[in-house]
Structure formats: structure tokens, C-alpha cells
Amino acid sequence: MNFFQPILILSAAYLVVFGEATFALPRQLLGAQIDLLPALMVYAALNASLPVIVLLAVLGGLWFDTFSANPLGVTILPLFAIGFPIYLRRDLILREAPFAQFVLGATASAIAPALTLLMLLSGSQEPLLGWGTIWQWIVMTAGGGLAAPVIFSLMSRCDRALGYQPQTETSFRADREIQRSRKKL
Amino acid sequence: MFKQKNYVALGAVLFVAVLILSLPTRATDRIKLALGAWFLPLFGLAGAAQQLPADLADSALPRRELLKQIDKLRRENQQLRSQAVQSVAIARENDQLRSLLGWQRQMPWKLKLANVVMRDPANWWRTAEIDLGSRDGVRVDLPVITAAGLVGRVSSVSLLRSQIVLIGDPNCRVSATVENATHDMGVIVASGPIDTSLVELTYLASSANLKPGEIVKSSGLGGVFPKGITIGQIVDSRSIEYGLYTEARVKLSANLGSLEQVWVLFP
């Protein structure tokens, strides 16, 4: 079994969460922090197995909530709600096309915070909401959409460079080669 | 489309999420603490990376510049010492007057410097994490300030780190008073999710006559924030609910957008 891909995806989630908590530049410039976990979930849903998607939803959600004032575990379901439907339909999605990656990343980045807020509001929490939330939502959606092709490219490169690839067998067999020659009669 | 393994995965995630969400706060705090410890190596790396440019800049500073800075600091130190002597005399006089009037003696503030190590990754909370924990004596509800003014309060504490909820978060309300002739009192609440420099001062009396630029300080009511900590300045005010009460926008003195170091105030 190839363990490289799950390790790569979970390591990326680990770094993404840490980066979001420590790197404040997007918040200072745009007024909102861009969440890359939904875009990473899109990559995982299109390229990894179901257990990896489950692990990413659970661990990514828990890590995110650890650094946030969110109740622990509230981000797990929104992340899985993105990854699971994409996984079920992934044979129909053009995963190599950057536009498809952008659309999926943007959609995932729009749905994830909306679902999380819905869960927070239904759980008697009082998050900071206002007209500015719409701007933050737009920034998160656009940021996630733009980040998705970059994540796809980076992860594929890492996978190709560091992970082992299945060996392809050639159909050429020397013992079945047709020898062509001119026979003199 | 829906195979058995899909049902198992869906069930497993639902089970884990519901289980964790239904845990008591104390248990989730402990899990957060354990999960936060996974990131300690990255904190170390980030700290070292931040320190490196500062060290390089220090080593490249010429001797003449250093001597000039030392001279300047010496003069500043002497000035502050003379001010400290004066304030000690004033404090003594204040204590004597308080004892004559039978008022409780004011205790001086004890402060501990803390570095802000991270911000909340979610856009709907205003919290931050500092590098002081229960090991340093930090406990829940201690006020957090900067030299400019009030920042917030400690909301949860672990051994090495604490989470602070910043002023302007829905979970950080402060009783405040305006420094004007009528000493109007209200409550500082969140204003909006984008601009971290503005908060609302609400539940002011309908007769409150506020002018832009008036200083807003903590009133000391509520038992969390001591009296007299600067919060900000009045920007504008308006009447709410057909004159039932007045609300004002307050520009915070402390810059919450780029917090690096804060002081935890011990009673």
C-alpha cells in the first residue's frame, strides 16, 4: 500500500492550519483570512482513497478548531460534506483541467465556512457576523478557488518527485518480435 | 454508487463529530491542549525564523549607532526615574487621603509581558494566543493590555499558552465610561467583522451628549477589567430605537490588527 500520498496530504493540512493561524497578511490586506483546507479537501477527494478523505476531515477539522475559538469538532462535518460528494462523483470530473479545479476550490471554499457558521448558530454560539461577513465570504471563495490549481500542481509535483510510481509494463516482447528479412529464392 | 464502505465512512465521520461535539468543555479543552502540542516544533521553527533577521540586523549595527542608542536610553532612564519618584510620592499621598476617607487602598498593577504567537484562523472570532500559561500564573479572565490601551481578557489557559479573547469579539464585553462632564456609561460590544479598530459603545443613556475625540475608559464594573484602562476614543454617536438609548462608535487605542506583544495584568 502506498502510504506516501496520505502522509503528503495530512502534512499539507498540518502546515496549512499552522500557516493560517500565524500568517496574518491576508487578514491585514483583505480583511479576511483565506482557508485552504477546503481546496486541499477537493484535491484529496479527487486523488486519494476514502480513508484519507475521512482522516483529512477529522484531523484537519480538529487542528483548525484547536487554534480557533470554534467548539472542537465543528469543522469536521463541513470538510467531509465537501469531500464525500466529490469522491462519489470523481470519475465524472475533469480533475486535470485548471478551470474545473478553480470552480471546485471556489465552491468548496464557499460551502465550508457557510456550513460551519450554520452549525455554530444552531449550537447557540454567537459568532461575529455583519455586512462585512459577505466580503469575507467572497474573499474566502475567491482565495480558495485561486489556491486550488496551485495546490493541485504542488501536490502532484511532490507526489511525482517523492512518491513511488507504479511501474508500467511495456507490451514489447523480444521473443515475439517479427523478424522481417528478404529471403533469396 | 453507494457501496458499503461509503456508508461506513459516512457513519464513522458522523460518529466522531457528534462524539467530540457532545464532550464537556473541560474535556475538549484538554484535547485542544494535546492537539496544540503537535505544533510545538513548528512554533520553535517559526520563532527561530523570526529571530534570525533581528539577530542579523543587530550584528550589522555599527558601534557608533549603538553608543548613540545607549546614551539616548540612559537619558530616558533618568527621566523615567525622576517621574517614578514623583509618582511614588503621589501614590503615597493618594493612599493617605484614601485612608482618611476610609476608602479601600488601591493596589498597584502587576504586569507580565507575553508574545502573541497566533491569531484565530476563523474569520468569525477575534481571539489570539499568547506564550504565557498556567505555569506563569495566568488564569481565566485576567485583563490583557498594551501600552496604548485595553486588548481583551484571557479566555482559556493551558500550561504554556493562553487564549485571549480580543475586545470586539462577541464574547468580550466591557463596561466603559466616557471621560466627559456627565461620565456616561455603556457597554463595549462588537461592531463588525472586518474593521478591528472599531467597536460599539452601546446602552448609553438617551441623554448622553458625546463628542468625537472623547476618551473611553473601563469603568471597573463587572469585576474583570479594573477601572481606568484606556479603551479608545469616540468617533460618532447616534440615537437607537426611537431615542430609547444612544450608541457610539469607538476607535480602539490598541492596534488589534498587528499585535505582537501584550501585557497580562495581574490583580
B5, B117, B121 ranked by CB distance to A50: nearest: B5
| Residues B110-121, mean pLDDT to the nearest whole number | 90
CB within 8 Å: A132 and B193 = yes
The region of weakest confidence among A4-8, B115-119, B192-196 is: B192-196
Integer angstrom CA distances of residue A99 from A90, A106, A109, A152, A170? 15, 10, 15, 12, 33
Check residues B74 and B147 and name the one with the higher pLDDT.
B74
pLDDT of residue A4: 85
B21, B169, B193 ranked by CB distance to A73: nearest: B21
The confidence band for B1, taking pLDDT boundaries of 50, 70 and 90, is: low
How far apart, in whole angstroms, are the C-alpha atoms of residue A19 and residue A7?
A: 18
Judging contacts by C-beta atoms under 8 Å, the chain B residues touching residue A31 are: 193-195
Phi and psi at B190, nearest 5°, equal: -65, 150
A63 CB within 8 Å of a chain B CB: yes
Residues 6+ positions from B189 with CB-CB distance below 8 Å: B170, B173, B199, B200, B202
pLDDT of residue B34: 86
Q: Where are the domains of chain B?
A: 2-59, 110-267
Percent of chain A with pLDDT over 90: 65
Amino acid letter for position B158: S
pLDDT of residue A184: 60
Q: Where are the domains of chain A?
A: 4-162
| Residues A20-24, mean pLDDT to the nearest whole number | 88
Judging contacts by C-beta atoms under 8 Å, the chain B residues touching residue A80 are: 10, 13, 17
> For A96-142, how does the pLDDT look when each residue is reduced to its tens digit (9 = 90+)?
899 999 999 999 999 999 999 999 999 888 898 988 899 999 999 99
CATH 2.40.10.350 fits B110-267, yes or no: yes
> For A52-82, how does the pLDDT look when each residue is reduced to its tens digit (9 = 90+)?
999 999 999 999 999 999 999 999 999 999 9
- Is 70 exceeded by the pLDDT of residue B29? yes
Check residues B73 and B101 and name the one with the higher pLDDT.
B73
pLDDT of residue B23: 92
